[in-house]
Amino acid sequence: MDESTANQDQPLNDSRDEEPSALLTRLRVIEDQPLDTRAEALAHVHDELHAQLESGDAGRTHA
């Protein structure tokens, strides 16, 4: 596995602990991948971000 492939599978840290540049770097690496690999990696990033957003709302009540 090369460096660019390894970076796309790294889990996202809590956004409060992660510098914004880390996500941008990860996205740039993904954008350099072939289309099928890029699509899978972006879907994975989407799922991780979605899970972070959902867990952030877990303790809140919606009015």
Tell me what pLDDT residue 56 has.
83
Give every CB contact of residue 5 below 8 A, 6+ residues apart in sequence: 33, 37
User: For 11-45, how does the pLDDT look when each residue is reduced to its tens digit (9 = 90+)?
Assistant: 555 545 556 788 899 999 999 999 999 999 999 99
Q: Say whether pLDDT at 61 is over 60.
A: no
**Using CA atoms, how far apart are residues 28 and 49, in angstroms rounded to an integer?**
16
Domain boundaries, the chain: 14-56
**What is the amino acid identity at position 39?**
A
52 band by pLDDT with thresholds 50, 70 and 90: confident
Question: Closest by alpha carbon to 49, among 24, 15, 17?
Answer: 15
